[in-house]
Amino acid sequence: MSSEIFTQLVDAHYTPLFRFALSLTKNSSDAGDLTQQTFFIWAKQGHALREEGKAKSWLFTTLYREFLRIRRRGERIMALEDLGPVESDPPAPEVDMVAGMDAGLVVEALQEVDEVYRVPLTLFYMQDLSYKEIAEMIEAPIGTVMSRLSRGKAQLRAAFARKEAGTRSKVVPFQTNPARKLS
């Protein structure tokens, strides 16, 4: 594979892969490392893919399996942030922020959804993968994917409602001093 094709692949899929990794790891440095590891695996094994149109699915599947492998082993990828601050550290990259506070609440609420439901939700709604692609990725029947999406949406609605309720201003009644009465 030429370096130009590899660069195009990275440009096209880095941000969605990073977002998916972030939804899994809940840590931007681990998400970045997991995304980089996925592209490293692609550089070594991606040439074996027969259909170029399946690259996106292959990348997401590889990232998810790598996440599971790391979690099973109880490993944590050593990140630069773990080494402590250094004056020459580059500034942290900005994560593509979705406009508006409500989007931030949705992302926070998504982090409260159980992982078993969060993965299909993220893949379906944020990465536009089909039920079949998700089923292949998580190695589960399509019916299971559909039920996890349904239950995940219910958890997401509840979490979002809690988040939204927490941001509303609360009315605090004015307390009068009982010793002082108006005549």
Say if 175 falls within a structural domain: no
CATH number of the domain at 133, please: 1.10.10.10
Looking at every residue in the chain, the average pLDDT score rounds to: 76
Decide if 124 contacts 110 (C-beta within 8 A): no
- One domain for residues 72 and 133: no
**Domain stops at, among 56, 81, 106:** 81
Residue 51 has pLDDT above 60, yes or no: yes
- One domain for residues 67 and 126: no
Say if 145 falls within a structural domain: yes
Residue 177 has pLDDT above 80, yes or no: no
**Domain stops at, among 47, 81, 115:** 81
Choice among 22-36, 37-51, 150-164, 166-180 with the minimum mean pLDDT = 166-180
Handedness of CA 157, 125, 65, 36 (dihedral sign): negative
- One domain for residues 13 and 71: yes
- One domain for residues 14 and 64: yes
Which band of pLDDT confidence, cut at 50, 70 and 90, is reported for residue 179? low
pLDDT of residue 88: 43
- One domain for residues 14 and 73: yes
Between 5 and 65, the higher pLDDT residue: 65
- One domain for residues 70 and 9: yes
Say if 15 falls within a structural domain: yes
Say if 147 falls within a structural domain: yes
Domain of 111 in residue numbering reads as 98-167
**Domain stops at, among 20, 48, 81:** 81
- One domain for residues 72 and 106: no
Q: How many domains does the chain have?
A: 2
What average pLDDT does range 149-177 have in this prediction? Answer: 72
CATH number of the domain at 71, please: 1.10.1740.10
Say if 35 falls within a structural domain: yes
Say if 2 falls within a structural domain: yes
Residue 90 has pLDDT above 70, yes or no: no
Question: Whole-prediction pTM value?
Answer: 0.54
The rounded distance, in Å, linking the Cα atoms of 46 and 69 is 19
pLDDT digits (tens, 9 = 90+) for 137-148: 888 999 999 999
- One domain for residues 74 and 113: no
Q: Which long-range contacts (CB under 8 A, 24 or more apart) does 97-100 make?
A: none
Residue 151 has pLDDT above 90, yes or no: yes
Amino acid identity of residue 74, one-letter, is G
Choice among 24-38, 99-113, 129-143 with the minimum mean pLDDT = 99-113
- Kindly report the length of the chain: 183
pLDDT of residue 103: 63
Decide if 23 contacts 110 (C-beta within 8 A): yes
Say if 89 falls within a structural domain: no
- DSSP letter (8 states) at residue 125: I
